[in-house]
């Protein structure tokens, strides 16, 4: 296949590029580098089947030649990132998604939208099934991300009704190598703090839950959705639910850190529970996660140790390699 991946130099996008190349596909990676990094795909650029196109999808996409699939992963996903650039986030999810859909429609290509469990908001239904409409604050501090993704889903559904071969993946709490340590999400926060010997900051009492899916598992799910005509939406996540405090303690134990737990006030609209119902993914994609959380955390911590994180015991200031 010849596949266009928008946001392909980001955390998840770069792993998807890598997996598609590994199975023999040709990949065009489109990224404006707002949060993606050339370093994430530098090891791929020597392949004759890989092209990096530095482009903002808020502008129309012009790609020549055959296109078999378009996977739209372009979005700021870091809470500090999208909070700093709310209009950029909303226009990427709206105008950008439309441009990506237009590219797929023009080439009669399969289209896959990377949506998010954030469309469920602070859910009143647990675990979350795809037929749950969610509990989202449309003007709250997370609204620029949540509503961009909700609008993108509506846009994909509209194009599908008009004949575009399109599917939606709702992604739950993914983690793994290449995740930025400054992205403000729970796993990266805890890893950075534990490696640096700093207190692990837990918001609220730590009883809120998350379901962590390792990036290789998620990529398998995305590829399965690319390869099938399933419209969805389909939840892609790990149904193994953990409290935030459990995640903090497990991370600290794997790092071997003596960091203390520091409690802070719970931010507005922070989801209290999050766990996917993945029966649809099992039935329609034959997909389920296989990587245990502890194994995934070890791999993520090891990657950060080998890519420039200076630990507390070194006596140097902590930093993260680019």
Closest CA to 181 of 170, 161, 195, 169: 195
Catalytic residue among 82, 145, 159, 175: 145
CB of 27 closer than 8 Å to CB of 33: no
Residue-range domains of the chain with CATH: 2-175+213-236 (3.40.50.720), 186-209+240-275+290-313 (3.90.25.10)
Please classify residue 13 by burial: count the beta carbons closer than 10 Å to its beta carbon, then call 0-12 exposed, 13-18 middle and 19+ buried. Answer: buried
**Residue 145 among the catalytic residues:** yes
β-pairing, 213-214 vs 110-116, is unpaired
Which residues are paired to 210 by β-bridges?
A: 242
Alpha-carbon gap, residue 207 to 261, rounded angstroms:
13
Averaged pLDDT, 208-218:
96
CB-CB contact of 70 with 6 (8 Å): yes
pLDDT value, residue 144: 96
> What is the Cα–Cα distance from 131 to 280, expressed in whole angstroms?
11
Work out the pLDDT band at 267, boundaries 50, 70, 90.
confident
- Kindly state the average pLDDT of the residues 188-201: 95
Q: Which H or E run contains 223?
A: helix 215-226
pLDDT band at 311 (very low <50, low <70, confident <90, very high): low
Whether the pLDDT of residue 317 is over 50: the answer is no
In this predicted structure, the answer to whether residue 318 has a pLDDT above a threshold of 70 is: no
| Spatial contact of 5 and 29, defined as CB atoms under 8 Å apart | yes
Collapse the DSSP code of 121 into the 3-class scheme (helix H, G, I; strand E, B; otherwise coil) and give the result: strand
Assign 272 a pLDDT band (cuts: 50, 70, 90): confident
Beta strands in 129-246 (DSSP E): 166-171, 174-175, 200-203, 209-211, 213-214, 234-236, 241-243
The pLDDT tens digits of the residues spanning 79-113 come to 899 999 999 999 999 999 999 999 999 999 999 99
> Which candidate, 13, 183, 149, places its Cα nearest to that of 81?
183
Count the residues in the chain: 322
Query: In the structure, what pLDDT confidence band is assigned to residue 230 with cuts at 50, 70 and 90?
Result: very high
- pLDDT-derived band at 312 (thresholds 50, 70, 90) equals low
Per-residue confidence (pLDDT) for residue 148, from 0 to 100: 98
pLDDT band at residue 310 using 50, 70 and 90 as cut-offs: low
CA 36 and chain centroid, separation: 12
pLDDT at 166: 98
Dihedral sign computed on CA atoms, order 267, 85, 43, 62: positive
Strand pairing report for 174-175 and 166-171:
unpaired
**Above 80 in pLDDT, residue 253?**
yes
Q: What mean pLDDT comes out for the span 121-135?
A: 95
**Residue 294 confidence (pLDDT) above 80:** yes
The DSSP output letter for 241 is E
Per residue in 4-18, pLDDT (tens digit) is: 999 999 999 999 999
Decide if pLDDT at 290 tops 80: yes
pLDDT of 183: 85
How many whole angstroms separate alpha carbon 52 and alpha carbon 156?
25
The two tokens of residue 30 are 């489109």
Contact present, 239 and 292 (Cβ < 8 Å): no
Output the average pLDDT for the chain: 93
Residue with tokens 């502890």: 294
Which of 182-186, 233-237, 281-285, 286-290 bottoms out in mean pLDDT, i.e. has the lowest? 182-186
Number of alpha carbons in the 13 Å side-chain half-sphere of residue 208: 16
Per-residue pLDDT tens for 40-77?
999 999 999 999 999 999 999 999 999 999 999 999 99
pLDDT at 308 over 70: no
């Amino acid at each position: 296949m010849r596949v266009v991946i928008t946001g392909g130099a980001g955390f998840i996008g770069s792993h998807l590029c890598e997996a598609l190349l590994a199975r023999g596909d040709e990949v065009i990676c489109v990224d404006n580098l707002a949060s993606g990094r050339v370093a994430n795909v530098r090891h791929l650029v020597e392949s004759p089947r890989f092209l990096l196109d530095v482009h903002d999808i808020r502008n129309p996409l012009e790609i020549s030649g055959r296109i078999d699939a378009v996977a739209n992963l372009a979005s700021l996903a870091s809470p500090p990132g999208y909070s700093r650039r709310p209009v950029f986030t909303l226009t990427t999810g709206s105008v950008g998604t439309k441009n990506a859909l237009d590219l797929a429609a023009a080439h009669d290509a399969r289209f896959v939208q990377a949506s998010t469990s954030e469309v469920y908001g602070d859910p009143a239904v647990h675990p979350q099934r795809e037929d749950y409409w969610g509990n989202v604050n449309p003007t709250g501090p997370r609204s620029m991300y949540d509503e961009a993704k909700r609008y993108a889903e509506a846009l994909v559904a509209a194009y599908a009704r008009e004949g575009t071969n399109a599917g939606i993946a709702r992604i739950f709490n993914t983690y793994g190598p290449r995740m930025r340590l400054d992205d403000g999400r729970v796993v990266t926060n805890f890893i950075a703090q534990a490696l640096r010997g700093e207190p692990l900051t837990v918001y609220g009492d730590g009883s809120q839950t998350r379901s962590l899916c390792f990036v290789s598992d998620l990529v398998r799910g995305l590829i399965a959705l690319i390869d099938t005509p399933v419209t969805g939406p389909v939840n892609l996540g790990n149904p193994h639910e953990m409290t935030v405090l459990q995640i903090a303690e497990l991370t600290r134990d794997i790092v071997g850190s003596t960091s203390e737990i520091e409690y802070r006030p719970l931010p507005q609209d922070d989801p209290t529970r999050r766990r996917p119902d993945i029966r649809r993914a099992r039935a329609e994609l034959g997909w389920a996660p296989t990587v245990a959380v502890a194994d995934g955390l070890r791999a993520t911590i090891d990657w950060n140790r080998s890519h420039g994180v200076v630990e507390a015991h070194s006596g140097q200031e902590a930093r993260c390699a680019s």
